[in-house]
Chain A
Amino acid sequence: MSLLATIYIISSVTFILGLKMLSNPASARRGNQIAAIGMTIAILGTIFLYEDNGQKLHNYVWIFAGIIIGGIVGTLAAKKVKMTAMPEMVSLFNGMGGACAALISIVEFNHMQNAAEILKGDQSNGYFIPNFSFGFIYIICLGLVIGSISFAGSIIAWGKLNGKIKDFSFKGQHIVNIILLIIILGLAAYLPIHFLESINNISFHFYIILFLAILYGIFFVLPIGGADMPVVISLLNSFTGVAAACGGFLYDNKAMLTGGILVGAAGTLLTILMCKAMNRSLKNVLIGSFGASATSSGVKKEQGAYKEISLSDAAVVMSYAHKVMIVPGYGLAVAQAQHACHELEKLLTEKGVEVKYAIHPVAGRMPGHMNVLLAEADVSYDNLLEMEQANEQFPTTDVVLVLGANDVVNPAAKTDPSSPIYGMPILDVELAKACIVNKRSMKPGYAGIENDLFFQPKTSMLFGDAKKVLQDLIGEIKNL
């Protein structure tokens, strides 16, 4: 046992170290590997060294079969997934972890029930259950509730990100959600109290909690917009961490406890940091009042007229420019247009045009989204400019091509204190000589506010799906 305890200590340290290194670009990859090594020894140690009252684990065949199946499925899924589909993959994995925690709770509850029945049958013991058992039942309930919410929520988030599930909300859903949560907590609090008296139908009570928790997880994520999913996934991620920690309490297992709580805390902070990078509060993301408050403040302004540009004109303007800056956004990611974008860049470069990308830190609503996306399309790292560099270069840029970005180029963030995005750092595309904006329609962007940029004389609009427009543009330029 002491060897196993040492192993758990080592793996706990690797988790902490791994997380620490993950937050620094230079060491991130090694950090991930270190944590993976820690996890491996913890798993192997548990399989071969764990003892409960002097008894080793059995069912080795089942355990290894499970690990092999899970390992193969996990590796294949992780290797085959497209870079653009990363967040939904993470969400799916997170859901698996949540489900795992919930299943542990179900089995342990069943054990507890069996044990209590034996106790009850033995009259000399009366209805006595040691004090700590109540604590255990609470922990089991907590693991069940959090695990199930995390599981159901993650699956919904996954479905929403890959477009299988549409946004859905009804009036007063937040109130329904809150009531649902109160009922769940009430039932979970009440369960241990009448655990012994009604031992025979306690399972029913327990499964009601399970059902409601899953329902809550679904309702919790359903109304949240697709662009906010990374934040939600991060939040659910920290939930699963807490659910794992519940397991740590159950088995008096310090590695589970350390890893679980560490992720729970770090995940919560990360969620808040992500919100901050988007200049939003967590409450806004979850309750989604962003659009509602925006309609009252900014939109009443005179809309003015915008002008459209034809594909051939856009092609001419860009091919005869000295310097073109591409501003990618969520629309590019949705249309999967990164390869077409790179092709356009190559074509223009051949014609002697200097092409750069201006990357806003939260472009695409997933921090780092654009970097990963463009890297997948083999865009050279030297051509990606961070916001500060890009802003220095806009005044010398002839044409800015905005691809499906909106709020990150909205000048209202600098000029209009009543705007909900006021104060968010933006890309100063209006400093360039001309600006071509590709969007699918004039619909406001993610923040739900109008963008003055579109109505400025320097700006012209090029409507359509980013990928299709880029391909057509490439065709036009080739024909010049």
Chain B
Amino acid sequence: MLNWISAHQQMIYIVILMIFLGIEVIGRVPSVLHTPLMSGANAIHGVVIIGAIIVMGKAEDGNYLALILGFLAVVLGTINVVGGFVVTDRMLEMFKKKK
């Protein structure tokens, strides 16, 4: 356990700092923006697509489990990213038009 922590201390620092930053960054959001912000954050966690790409790209030719699941992961991850950003943009477009 201790070995694991010291081997990954960089990551752990990032985790801690990001927790505080995440809270700080959206601390004063007006309630009208709650929904677009949720949607935008939803698109950002689509960064999980990177993991899917790595899984896919490392899958050996004969490993069908990895190939199929990896492919599925890439598709789903992309839907998350692309759909998330487009939907957020559409929502915010509405807000802009009115002003």
List the interface of chain A (C-beta within 8 A of B).
11, 15-16, 18-20, 22-25, 28-29, 31-33, 35-36, 39, 42-43, 46-47, 50, 52, 56-60, 62-63, 65-67, 69-71, 73-75, 77-79, 81, 83, 86-87, 89-90, 93-94, 96-97, 99-101, 103-104, 106-108, 110-111, 131-132, 134-135, 230, 233-234, 237-238, 240-241, 243-245, 247-270, 273-274, 277, 361-362, 366-369, 371-372, 375-376, 380-381, 384
Contacts and interface: CB of A to CB of B under 8 A. Distances in A.
B42 A97 contact: yes
B71 A62 contact: yes
Nearest to B2: A131
Nearest to A147: B48
Contact of A18 (B44, B54, B75): B44
Most chain B CB inside 10 Å of its own CB: which residue of A28, A31, A81, A233: A28
Contacts, number: 395
A58 B70 CA distance: 12
A97 B31 contact: no
Size range of the chain B interface in the assembly: 35 or more
A46 to B, nearest CB: 5
Contacts of A101: 48, 51
A53 B74 CA distance: 22
Interface of B: 1, 3-4, 7-8, 11, 14-15, 18-23, 25-59, 63, 65-67, 69-99
A258 B17 CA distance: 9
A427 B27 CA distance: 26
A192 B53 CA distance: 26
Contacts of B35: 86-87, 90, 230, 366-369, 372
A230 B93 CA distance: 20
A104 B55 contact: yes
Given A78-B83, A131-B3, A255-B50, A31 B66 contact: no
A270 B86 contact: no
Contacts of A256: 47-48, 50-51
A267 B41 contact: yes
Nearest to A135: B4
A240 to B, nearest CB: 5
Contacts of B76: 70, 96-97, 99-100, 103
A384 B43 CA distance: 29
